[in-house]
Amino acid sequence: MSEEIRLAFAGYGTVGKALHRIIEERNDAFERDEGFRFRVVAVARRDRYIVDADGLATATIRTGSWTSGDAIAMLGECEADVLMEMSPTDLDTAQPALGHCRYAFREGMHVVLANKGPVVRAPDELHQRAADAGVQVRHEATVAGCIPTLSTARHGFAGDTVRRIEGVLNGTTNFILTRMAEEGSDLDQALREAQSLGYAEADPTNDLDGFDAAAKVVILANSVLGREITMDDVEVRGIRDITRQAVELAKAHGYRIRLIAEADREGIARVGPRLVPAGSSLDVKGALNAVRFTTDLAGHVTLTGAGAGGMETAAAMLSDLMGLARVGKARRVERAKA
């Protein structure tokens, strides 16, 4: 009899649906190859939730009986081992995700986040509360989509020390800068194109002004580089003042303009447009992301891949979940309630 790990989903949009479908499709393979499978026992979406200790199939989510209430109410009613936190991100308040995490920790649940809010706004609290509760918190999906950034820093460079990280961490601005160089369009045209293709939101502030990339700098600096910084510590410049002429001038000299996020172990934590040589490792095209590590022993290693997308984000959350399950850390911790 294999182990079954019970999951509660906070949020059921593109990512949640993709993750649920992936788990359903792969559960038999997980059981065969790894000796465990997953059971989705609760799903909360906006102001309603559904709980079934026997497990929810993707097909029964639509037809099942939903109750009015939020994710906290759901967590109080289900016996989950791991909270999969996929609620809408608020980089200012970190809510409602932070409240979900606090509640889950008190109940002895581990937490896997796709939501950047708590990781950016309250990393100390998050990790302290998890440690106090004896549970794990992981958040591979908060940085660079399906590029295994945190996993590579931990496992790939085990024993080594990462000194510096630079990257293209925002796919929307990279798509815009790529189109400006390829089509000779100006920023507004490229932005409208990005919006029509679903790469940019109606309010593109977080992307264009560099805040999304800055949030990822905070996460990488704190998680990989031993820093303790907040959004206020990141020097941020976006791409709003990048003109078609600037892009073309760069191109004529063999360069590309890219919105580069960077941090090191000393004082650097910044986001801004930079010239990178055409064809160099950070010159990724379109909505791709790139992460370049500089380490003591391995030197420079660069990872490139899709930065966003429901499936990619779900894949990153799944890798966190597998990591917990493989080391036997995915079971709820039974303890006196605080």
Catalytically active residues, by annotation: 216
Interface with a copy of itself: number of residues (CB under 8 A): 42
Q: Which of residues 88-147 bind a copy of itself (CB under 8 A)?
A: 146-147
Residue at 94: amino acid letter: A
For 163, the 3-state DSSP assignment is strand
CB 184 within 8 A of CB 252: no
Min dist. Cβ of residue 17 to a copy of itself (A): 14
Name which position in 3, 4, 14, 22 contacts a copy of itself (CB under 8 A). Answer: 22
Residue 198 within binding range of a copy of itself, rule CB under 8 A = no
Contact letters for a copy of itself, residues 258-287 (x by CB under 8 A) = --------------------xx-x-x----
Residues 297-326, one symbol each (x = binds a copy of itself by CB under 8 A, - = not), give xxxxxxxxxx----xx-xxx-xx-xxx--x
Count the alpha carbons within 13 Å of 128 in the hemisphere toward its beta carbon: 4
- Residue 296 CA, chain-centre distance (Å), reads 26
Buried b (16+ CB within 10 A) or exposed e, 205-224: ebbbbbbbbbbbbbbbbbbb
Q: How is residue 213 annotated by DSSP?
A: H
CA-wise closest residue to 335 among 2, 3, 125, 104: 104
Are 282 and 258 in contact by the 8 Å Cβ rule? The answer is yes
Which residue blocks in 231-286 are alpha helix, DSSP H? Answer: 244-252
Closest CB 234 distance from a copy of itself, rounded Å? 26
CA 7 to chain CA centroid, nearest Å: 18
| 214 or 321: CB nearest a copy of itself | 321
Segment interacting with a copy of itself (CB under 8 A) among 153-161, 185-193, 195-203, 239-247: 153-161
Please give the Cα distance from 143 to 151 (Å, whole number): 11
Name the segment binding a copy of itself (CB under 8 A); options: 6-14, 44-52, 184-192, 290-298: 290-298
Of 157, 186, 248, 265, the residue at the interface with a copy of itself (CB under 8 A) is 157
Residues 1, 59, 65, 159: which binds a copy of itself (CB under 8 A)? 159
List interacting residues with a copy of itself (CB under 8 A): 22, 26, 30, 146-148, 151-152, 154-160, 278-279, 281, 283, 295, 297-306, 311-312, 314-316, 318-319, 321-323, 326-327
